[in-house]
A = this chain, B = another copy of it.
Amino acid sequence: MHTLYSMQDSGNCYKLRLVMARLGIPFRIEETDILKGESRTPEFLAVNPNGKVPTLVLDDGRAITESNAAMWYLADGTQLLPDDAYDRAQVLQWMFFEQYSHEPYIAVARFWLKVIPGGREQKTGDQIAEWHSRGYAALDVMERHLDRADYFSGRACSIADVALYAYTHMASDGEFELSGYPAIGAWLDRVAAQPGHVGMGWRPAG
| Residues of A bordering B, CB below 8 Å | 49-50, 58, 62, 64-70, 72-73, 76, 85-86, 88-90, 92-93, 95-97, 99-101, 103-104, 141, 144-145
Contacts and interface: CB of A to CB of B under 8 A. Distances in A.
Given A141-B50, A144-B49, A72 B92 contact: yes
Contact of A99 (B64, B65, B88, B100): B100
Contacts of A88: 72-73, 76
Nearest to A65: B93
B68 A92 contact: yes
Contacts of A92: 66, 68-69, 72-73, 92
- Please state the number of chain copies in the assembly: 2
Contacts of A58: 86
A64 B50 contact: no
B64 A89 contact: yes
B97 A66 contact: yes
Contacts of A90: 64, 69
Contacts of A50: 97, 101, 141
Nearest to A56: B89
Contacts of A73: 85-86, 88-89, 92
A84 to B, nearest CB: 11
A29 to B, nearest CB: 20
B97 A49 contact: no
A70 to B, nearest CB: 7
Nearest to A86: B62
Contacts of A72: 88-89, 92
A85 to B, nearest CB: 6
A146 B92 CA distance: 26
A28 to B, nearest CB: 20
Nearest to A58: B86
Contacts of A144: 49
Given A50-B97, A72-B89, A96-B99, 4 more contacts: A66-B100, A69-B95, A92-B92, A100-B100
